[in-house]
Amino acid sequence: MLYAAVATGSFRRYATYRVATAAGVFTNTVFGFIVAYSYIALWDQRPHLGGYDLPQAMTFAWTGQALLAATSLMSGGGIAELQDRIRTGDIAIDLHRPADLQLWWLAADLGRAVLQLIGRGVVPLSVGALFFELALPDHPLTWLLFLTSALLAVVVSFGLRYLVALASFWLMDGAGLAMIAGLAGTFFSGMVLPLPVFPDALAHTAQLLPWASLLQVPADILLGARTGADALRGLLLQAGWAVALLALGRLVQSYATRKVVVNGG
Amino acid sequence: MVDALIEVAGVEKVFSVRRKAGRLRRVREEVRAVSGLDFTVARGEMVGYIGPNGAGKSTTIKMLTGILVPSAGRLRVAGIDPFARSGTGGAAGGRLRLARRIGVVFGQRTTLWWDLPLKDSYELVRRMYRVPDATYRANLERCVELLDLAPLLDVPVRQLSLGQRMRGDIAAALLHDPEVLYLDEPTIGLDVVSKAKVRSFLREVNAERGTTVLLTTHDLTDIEQLCHRVMVIDHGRLVYDGDLTGLLAAGEGERMLVVDLDRELPPIDGVPGARTVKVAGPRQWLAFPAEASAAPLVAAVAERYPLVDLSIREPDIEDVIARLYAGGTATPVAGA
Amino acid sequence: MADGVLETAAPRTERAADAGGRWAVVVHGLRTYRLLVWMWIRATLAYRASFAMTVVGNFAATALDFVALLLMFSRVDVLGGFTLPEVALLYGLAGTSMNLADLLMGSMDRLGSRIRDGSLDTLLLRPVPVFAQLAADRFALRRLGGITQAVLVLGWALAHVDVAWSVGRVLMVPVMVLTGTAIFAAVFTAGAAFQFWAQDAAEVQNSFTYGGKAMLQYPPTVFAQDLVRGVVFVVPLAFVNWVPALWLLGRPEPLGLPPWVAFLGPVVAALLCAVGGLLWRRALAAYRSTGS
């Protein structure tokens, strides 16, 4: 199938960047230590802050580093390329391909994310487990739920980044919007600090926003803050945002396509 | 060789590369990019440096500019050894001093600042090379006039077409009065008009200012129109050094005399030094050695046949060089 | 190209290059750096609105870390035994120095991609040290946003920390900022040298620059002793703020070092810069002989 081939190709392409991956793993690991120690100081003062015990807080810190590359929290991921193609007008060529633009890029992004989930996720999480007491699940089913949640995180992240990229059809300089999106993603995903640690009102709101799907939900499933029905509710929330964002993306895409057809690119 | 501007003696460049051997294993291998390179270029010469891809052209140019340090041998440009450790500026001193005396143009890569208008790039060059005001003004004025740069001066480099950018690059390389100009594929990708403009400018720079020019190219018209001397490199070795005629002889090149007779006749026969290779109606083709003169041949034909018109076709130099490479037996011709 | 220009110009420029020797090369490098920076600033300011937005964005991006600290202090009174103004002091010092160094030479991390696309060679062709050209390349004026943010936090912290100010203590503040900037600049240089043989590893540099900043904004008491030891003795980032700021705050040195160590910052910075410079020269020389 076409989209499977696109995803595999993208996976392979990112697999060739070995040195860059190693460098990224190193950086994620260094930041993992820094974040973990700052959480230790915090939980030392407030042992059950945000409903987490210390091992859970440690797990959150390292999960954040493990998912950072895959969910492209701080960067455009492969989507930056789409933004470039829109800006330069090359997008007109893509639109004439016998493939759906959104599905094409989603497949490519999933291929990239799966590679980075393995390549940049496993080592930091293992190092974290080696040096700190983590609250990792015993049951394989929980791991499966976590991986499902991580993949949904990638799809939600894609939905958001795709919208940002499409905005380049109308904005002269898409860099500003990309920047704002990156900041919102970093802050409201829990990357800066787990959402339950936020002041209560802010925490409740943030839990419902799409960015919570990027880190907070998968991390909570992994460290056991969301179990059973609560875990399923988390997955549903992610799936809901994924569907909503992809649908919105299609809508915007159809407007954008019409614009290209009318203006000739 | 009274005033040798470029002196290359026994220069060698060996790269150590890691090659894939199996899934994970890598083996170190020595690759000899250039070996036993010996030549001199006199002040004011215009030399074509040609060879197939990967033959060692770029490696040579990089060593001549001081970017790349040779593995062995000696090299001096404008009296400067770019790799001398002693002297000012430590290890980089030779390269920095040489940089002021040479101009370099890469056909495929600009040395201008992508986001800045052309004239800002020139201003930067002026300050970096510390070009005296009078010299800068005179040179810029001249380049702007001869290369038609006036309408481009306020345009950011990224908005220039390839031909415009190349002209801009050549001007930038000449603002500081270099004694040597290296051009790496200066006409690649250019349209016919831009090519002609670039060539006539280079001819003028060389003729009027005595700037020594060394150019690599794939376009043999560049060589024909610009260079009296050609050096051919293959597999890191100089396989030919001499003039174009000699190159043709070495490559067993033939020229073609095409004659139109007033009627259809049997193949022309008995003209010494030529053989008829094709007949089509009243038109006949006679092949003769590239280095031989066409005049006695024409006289001999005209004397015995009803000649209406004639033309001489130059040999296809690419064929000649291909033959030279394929043979591998070509003997280097010393000196020019 | 009037007649005779060639004959007069060439010897003159050569004399100029030879006259002052190495010192002249350095001065010419600095001049060119200033010139290139000025060109980039002009190019940046040509698009005012876009520039303003990136400055604000840069401000906001660096402010996120501080928001995290504020959120933490909304739940606790002290972190690792340090109050908010004290932590803000560490944050402001680390942020100001690192962001300054990032402004001055943050483009060094593009060296790897310049080697890959071959554009480093064009820099090597010019009669100016490559280092000066690289450091000034794409000078990112937007980083003023991050610097402003860190300076504001630093100012707030200085007004609120409990310090018995004396002339020496007041002087220590600018010394710390300059020392820190120099230390981070040395790290940027070493990182660039590293890219000569690992062109895709630009991100490793982030561990020491952005990672260093992230670490230094927390008190040393937060971290394991071995980690602190590494930051004092191996990559002496601790001299950016920890060691001198603890002296300023009247707290004991993190590793129980004698108090005079607090004044070693400038010496450490100078040594680090020398090491960074040496690494750079070695790496560049190696690049020129391997061509890869």
| Chains with at least 3 CB pairs less than 8 angstroms from chain B | C
With beta carbons under 8 A apart, name residues in chain C contacting A173: 47, 50, 53
Of the candidates B59, B102, B124, the beta carbon closest to that of C35 is on B124
Q: Is the pLDDT of residue C8 over 60?
A: no
- Among C1, C28, C31, the residue with its CB nearest the CB of B138 is C1
Candidate from A116-120, A193-197, C228-232 with smallest mean pLDDT: C228-232
Whole-number percent of chain C with pLDDT over 90: 70
* pLDDT for the residue numbered C123: 93
Residues sharing a CB contact under 8 Å with residue C66, sequence separation 6 or more, in sequence order: C88, C91, C149, C153
Mean pLDDT of B245-259: 77
Distance from CA of C276 to the nearest CA of B (A): 17
Q: Do B62 and C281 touch (CB under 8 A)?
A: no
| Model confidence pLDDT, tens digit, residues A47-77 | 999 999 999 999 999 999 999 999 987 666 7
Does the residue A139 lie in any domain? yes
A30/C75 Cβ within 8 A: no
Q: To which H or E segment does residue B321 belong? A: helix B317-327
Phi, psi of B132 (to 5 degrees): -60, 145
DSSP state letter for C200: T
Residue B86 neighbours by CB under 8 Å, 6+ apart: none
Cβ neighbourhood burial of B55 (10 Å; 0-12, 13-18, 19+): buried
Average pLDDT score over residue span A149-157? 97
Rounded Cα distance between A86 and A260, Å, is: 10
Nearest to C76 by CA among A201, A49, A196: A49
Say yes or no for a CB contact (<8 Å) between C13 and B130. yes
Q: Could you tell me which residues of chain C have a Cβ less than 8 Å from any Cβ in chain B?
A: 1-2, 5-6, 9-10, 12-14, 16-18, 20-22, 24-25, 28, 31-32, 35-36, 39, 43, 118-119, 121-122, 124-129, 281, 284-285, 288-292
Domain that holds residue A248: 2-259
- H or E element that contains C24: helix C22-45
The pLDDT, as a whole number, for residue B292 is: 81
Backbone angles phi, psi at B86, to 5 degrees: -75, 180
* pLDDT of residue B268 exceeding 60: yes
On average, the pLDDT of chain A sits at 91
Q: Please tell me which of the candidates C50, C72, C200 has its beta carbon nearest to residue A173.
A: C50
Whether residue C12 and residue B132 make contact (CB cut-off 8 A), yes or no, is yes
Q: CA C108, C112, C116 angle in degrees (round to 5)?
A: 140
Return the residue of C nearest to A195 by Cα. Answer: C71
| Closest chain C C-alpha to A183 CA, distance in angstroms | 6
Above 50 in pLDDT, residue C248?
yes
- Structural contact between residues C162 and C74, judged by C-beta atoms closer than 8 angstroms: no
* pLDDT category of residue C7 using cuts at 50, 70 and 90: very low
- Among residues C204, C197, C231, C235, the alpha carbon closest in space to that of C216 is found at C231
Report the pLDDT value the prediction gives residue C100, as an integer from 0 to 100: 97
Residue C3, pLDDT > 70, answer: no
How far is the C-alpha of A181 from the C-alpha of A202, rounded, in Å?
18
Is A265 a member of any domain?
A: no
Backbone angles phi, psi at B256, to 5 degrees: -125, 125
Average pLDDT of the residues in B296-321: 81
CA distance A24 to A32: 12
Specify the pTM.
0.86
- For A27, the closest of C67, C76, C207 (CB atoms) is C207
Q: What is the 3-state secondary structure (H, E, C) of A117-138?
A: HHHCCHHHHHHHHHHCCCCCCC
Q: From the list B15, B111, B209, which residue is nearest C1 (CB)?
A: B209
Would you say the C-alpha torsion C60, C63, C67, C70 has a positive or negative sign? negative
Q: Which residues of A touch C201 (CB under 8 A)?
A: 19-20, 22-23
pLDDT at B191: 86
Confidence of residue A265 (pLDDT cuts 50, 70, 90): very low
Please indicate, yes or no, if residue A227 is contained in any of the structural domains.
yes
Tokens of A93: 């060529």
Cβ atoms B248, B290 nearer than 8 A? yes
Q: Do A19 and C76 make contact, defined as CB atoms within 8 angstroms?
A: no
The A-side interface with C (CB below 8 A) comprises: 17-20, 22-24, 26-27, 30-31, 33-34, 37-38, 40-42, 45-46, 49, 173, 175-176, 179-180, 182-183, 186-187, 192-193, 197-199
Tell me the shortest Cα–Cα distance from C131 to chain B, in angstroms. 11
Mean pLDDT across C243-269: 91
Res B319: pLDDT: 66
- Where does B2-87 have alpha helices with state H? 57-64
- So what's the pLDDT on residue C5? 36
CB of C150 within 8 A of CB of C95?
A: yes
CB contact under 8 A, C67 and A31: no
Contact call for A198 and C71, based on CB within 8 A: yes
- Do the chains contact at C126 and B99, CB–CB below 8 Å? yes
B230 secondary structure, DSSP code? E
What pLDDT is recorded for position B244?
80
Distances (CA, A) of A81 to A34, A88, A166, C9: 32, 11, 12, 48
Conformation bin of residue A190: beta by default, left when phi > 0, alpha when psi is -120 to 50: left
Q: What residues have CB less than 8 Å from C238, skipping those under 6 apart?
A: C216, C220, C228, C231, C232, C254
Kindly state the average pLDDT of the residues C225-246.
92
B-chain residues near C35 (CB < 8 A): 124, 127-128
Q: Is A42 in contact with C222 (CB distance < 8 Å)?
A: no
pLDDT on residue B90? 55
| CA A226 – CA A209 distance, rounded (Å) | 17
Sequence-ordered list of residues with C-beta below 8 angstroms from that of C12, at least 6 positions apart, any chain: B132
| Spatial separation of the C-alpha atoms in residues B10 and B15, rounded to whole Å | 16
Task: Please name the residue that has the structure tokens 């870390």.
Answer: C65
Among partner residues C47, C64, C206, which is closest to A187 by beta-carbon distance?
C64
Q: Which residue has 């950011």 as its token pair?
A: B156
Residues of chain C found within 8 Å of residue B209, distances taken between Cβ atoms: 1, 6
Q: Kindly state the average pLDDT of the residues C54-83.
A: 94
Which residue among B97, B111, B210 places its CB closest to the CB of C14? B97
Q: Is residue A264 part of a domain?
A: no
Residue C48 burial (CB < 10 Å; 0-12/13-18/19+)? exposed
Of C1, C35, C124, the CB nearest to B127: C35
Q: Is residue A6 part of a domain?
A: yes
pLDDT digits (tens, 9 = 90+) for B310-322: 888 776 666 667 6
Tell me the per-residue pLDDT of B169-213, one tens digit each, with 9 for 90 and over: 999 999 999 999 999 988 888 888 888 989 999 999 999 989 999
Residue C234 DSSP symbol: I
Strand order in the sheet with B275-280: B275-280, B283-289, B254-261, B307-313
Q: Who wins on pLDDT, C135 or C15?
A: C135
Question: B283-289 and B275-280 as β-strands: parallel, antiparallel, unpaired?
Answer: antiparallel
Q: Do the beta carbons of residue B185 and residue B217 sit within 8 Å?
A: yes
Gap between the Cα atoms of A108 and B1, Å rounded: 62
Q: Cα separation of C220 and A261, whole Å?
A: 59
Interchain contact, A197 vs C207, CB within 8 Å: no
Residues, chain B: 336
Share above pLDDT 70 across residues of chain C, in percent, rounded to a whole number: 92
pLDDT for res B331: 45
CB nearest to C76's CB, from A42, A173, A193: A42
Chains A and B touch (3+ CB pairs under 8 A): no
- Name the minimum distance, in Å, from the CA of C146 to any CA of chain A: 14
- Buried residues in B208-234 as b, exposed as e (16+ CB within 10 A): ebebbbbbbbebbebbeebbebbbbbb
Please tell me whether residue C193 adopts helix, strand or coil conformation.
helix
Residue B283 has phi, psi (to 5 degrees) of -95, 135
pLDDT per residue as tens digits for the range B42-98: 999 999 998 887 888 889 999 999 999 999 999 999 999 988 765 544 556 789 999
- Yes or no, beta carbons of B139 and C125 under 8 Å apart: no
- How high is the pLDDT of residue C2? 41
Closest residue by Cα to residue B217 from B182, B165, B252, B256: B182
A68 vs A62: CA distance, rounded Å: 10
Whether A171 shows a pLDDT value over 70: the answer reads yes
Average per-residue pLDDT for chain C: 89
Supply the DSSP string of B140-151, one letter for each residue: HHHHHHHTT-GG
Q: Residue C102 corresponds to which tokens in the numbers above?
A: 């990032």
Please list the residues that pair with B280 across neighbouring strands: B283
So what's the pLDDT on residue B332? 44
Is B249 in a helix, a strand, or coil?
helix
pLDDT score of C15 more than 80: no
Q: Which residue of B has its CA nearest to C24?
A: B89
Contact C24 B62 (CB under 8 A): no
Question: Cα distance from C273 to chain B (closest Cα, Å)?
Answer: 18
Q: What is the spatial distance between Cα B257 and Cα B310, in angstroms, rounded to a whole number?
A: 7
Per-residue pLDDT, C4: 38
SS3 content of chain B, % helix, strand, coil (to 5): 35, 30, 35
Using CB atoms, which chains have 3+ pairs under 8 A with C?
A: A, B
Q: What is the count of structural domains for chain A?
A: 1
The number of C-beta contacts closer than 8 angstroms across B and C is: 126
Task: Please give, rounded to a whole number of angstroms, the shortest distance from the CA of C136 to a CA of chain B.
Answer: 12
The string of pLDDT tens digits covering residues B143-177 is: 999 999 999 999 988 899 988 999 999 999 999 99
pLDDT in tens, C79-114: 999 999 999 999 999 999 999 999 999 888 889 989
Q: What is the interface size between A and C, counted as CB pairs within 8 Å?
A: 100
Q: How confident is the model at residue C6 (pLDDT cuts 50, 70, 90)?
A: very low
Partners of residue A198 in chain C, C-beta under 8 Å: 71
H or E element, residue C63: helix C48-73
Residue C116: enclosing H or E segment and its boundaries? Answer: helix C111-117
Pair type for strands B254-261 and B283-289: antiparallel
Question: What letters, b where the CB count within 10 A reaches 16 and e where it falls short, cover C169-182?
Answer: eeebbeebbebbbb
Query: Percent of chain A at pLDDT above 90?
Result: 75
Give chain C's length. 292
pLDDT above 90: residue C48: no
Q: Give residue C249's pLDDT band: very low, low, confident or very high (50, 70, 90).
A: very high
**CA B149 – CA B164 distance, rounded (Å):** 8
B115 alpha carbon, distance to own chain's centre: 30
Whether A23 sits inside 8 A of C200 (CB atoms) is yes
The pLDDT value given to residue B219:
80
Q: Which among B69, B128, B139 has CB closest to C32?
A: B128
A155 pLDDT more than 50: yes
Name the residue of chain B whose CA is nearest to C289's CA: B69
Q: How far apart are CA C41 and CA C127, in angstroms?
A: 23
For residue C25, give the nearest of B88, B102, B109 by CB distance: B88
Helix (H, G, I), strand (E, B) or coil at B75: strand
The most confident of the ranges A28-32, B184-188, B323-327, C110-114 is A28-32
Q: Which of B66-75, B264-273, B300-309, B318-327: highest mean pLDDT?
A: B66-75
Interchain CB distance below 8 Å, C54 and A175: yes
Read off the pLDDT of residues C181-202 as tens digits, 9 standing for 90 and up. Answer: 999 999 999 999 999 988 888 8
Whether A260 contacts A169, CB under 8 Å? yes
Taken in order B322, B327, B328, B331, the sign of the CA dihedral is: negative
At residue B53, the pLDDT reads 79
Determine the pLDDT at residue B235: 85
- Chains with 3 or more CB pairs under 8 A to chain A: C
Contact residues on chain C for B124, CB-CB shorter than 8 A: 35-36, 39
